[in-house]
Amino acid sequence: MKKKADRENQKTIYDHVVPEGQQEEIRLDVYITSFVENASRTKVQKAIKDGHVLVNDKKEKASYIMQPEDMIHIELPKPPPPEAKPEEMELNIVYEDDDLIIVNKEAGMVVHPAYANWTGTLVNGLMYHVDELAGEDEDENLRPGIVHRLDKDTSGLLVVAKTDHALAELSALFQEKDVERTYWAVIWGTPEEEGTIEGNIGRSKKDRKLMAVQPENYGKPAVTHYKVLEYFDYLSLVEVKLETGRTHQIRVHFNHMGNPVFGDPTYGGTSVRYGPNTGSRKSMFHNLITGLGRQCLHAKTLGFVHPTTKEVVRFDSELPDDFQHVLTMLRENCKSEY
């Protein structure tokens, strides 16, 4: 069975040949339900009735009995995503003017509505916020424009455009890599005091949900600079500066280097990677990782040229409480030999 997405026409296409060994009498609708993802029999019957299913290049009824070597062609239109709606929520807005908003995003919040997260996202909250502002001036038509994103479980600073002009200017700055972005992270291991990690990043061949460092001719170029701020016993606090902005870049690059971000459940950060894994040390790390419940990564600093004033603006944020707690425990219990 072959499946492909026709993004231009918003369709999912399946091509399937009934195997020669198929002897059991089975209806067309029942047969399709057995191999099409998330398909109910009712939905399949409607697709057949609406002409989205062909058997040997012909339309058949749902009751048609499948025969060996029958060729089934299915074209299922994708339903449009639900429209994002404003939701009242508490947002940590650290700066705002007529052009942009700087938000200190908490861990656990998805930035943009998508499959399985159509509500409760930062965009939903910002839509409510700008609608409230527009209510003060009926002539205003404000809509939040996401310039860049943070992973769901990464906390820290985000810039959001309020006008088309600001969105275009800020997007160009990010595209041209003319933005200061500084992250802090706790990582496993004790790398050299300063370094640069380079390696193309693309979808993992083993698991398409994950990203991985790829050979030179695959993926997209990615460059990560880091400086160690503090060494602990087999762990380090690092400052990270991005030259590029690939999906999961910091987490993937440090994992590739053998220094996964502490607490990262996706890229190897939830197990004790260095040092003894016994007794009180094992118990402490278990409690820290469980309590943190995410990667210990925070977007701390954000600087850029303002889209209207053309002045350089720079914002810095405090580390969230869960990150601070990890540092406190490491300082008290993991003294460095460096």
Same domain, 135 and 184: no
Residues 246 and 316: their CA atoms lie apart, in Å, by 22
CATH number at residue 297: 3.30.2350.10
Structure tokens at 61: 């009824």
Instruction: Answer yes or no: do 316 and 213 share one domain.
Output: yes
* Catalytic one of 29, 70, 99, 151: 151
Dist CA 142 CA 128 (whole Å): 10
Q: Which domain holds residue 32?
A: 2-77
> Is 186 found in the same domain as 147?
no
Is the pTM higher than 0.85? The answer reads no
Tell which of 156, 176, 196 closes a domain. 176
Q: Are residues 204 and 249 in the same domain?
A: yes
What's the pLDDT tens digit per position in 181-239? 999 999 999 999 999 999 999 988 888 789 999 998 889 999 999 999 999 999 999 99
Q: Which of 144, 176, 208 is the last residue of a domain?
A: 176
* CA atoms of 198 and 192, how far apart (whole Å): 15
Number of structural domains found in the chain: 3
**Cα-based distances in Å from 310 to 52, 166, 177:** 54, 11, 16
Please give the structure tokens belonging to residue 58.
């012909």
Q: Are residues 91 and 64 in the same domain?
A: no
Residues 207-235 as b or e (16 or more Cβ within 10 Å = b): eeebbbbbeeeebeebbbebebeebbbbb
Kindly state whether residues 19 and 67 are assigned to the same domain.
yes
Q: What is the pLDDT of residue 78?
A: 73
Confidence (pLDDT) at 2:
65
The domain boundary, picked from 176, 198, 222, lies at 176
Each residue's pLDDT expressed in tens, for the chain with a length of 338 residues: 566 665 555 678 889 998 887 667 899 999 998 888 777 889 899 999 999 999 999 999 999 999 999 999 998 877 666 778 899 999 999 999 999 999 999 999 999 887 677 888 999 999 999 887 655 544 444 567 889 989 999 999 999 999 999 999 999 999 888 899 999 999 999 999 999 999 999 988 888 789 999 998 889 999 999 999 999 999 999 999 999 889 999 999 999 999 999 999 999 999 999 999 999 999 999 999 999 999 999 999 999 999 999 999 999 999 999 999 999 999 999 877 65
The verdict on 185 and 319 lying in the same domain is yes
Give yes or no: 131 in active site.
no
Q: Are residues 198 and 277 in the same domain?
A: yes
Judge contact between 254 and 201, C-beta under 8 A: no
CATH number, residue 37 = 3.10.290.10
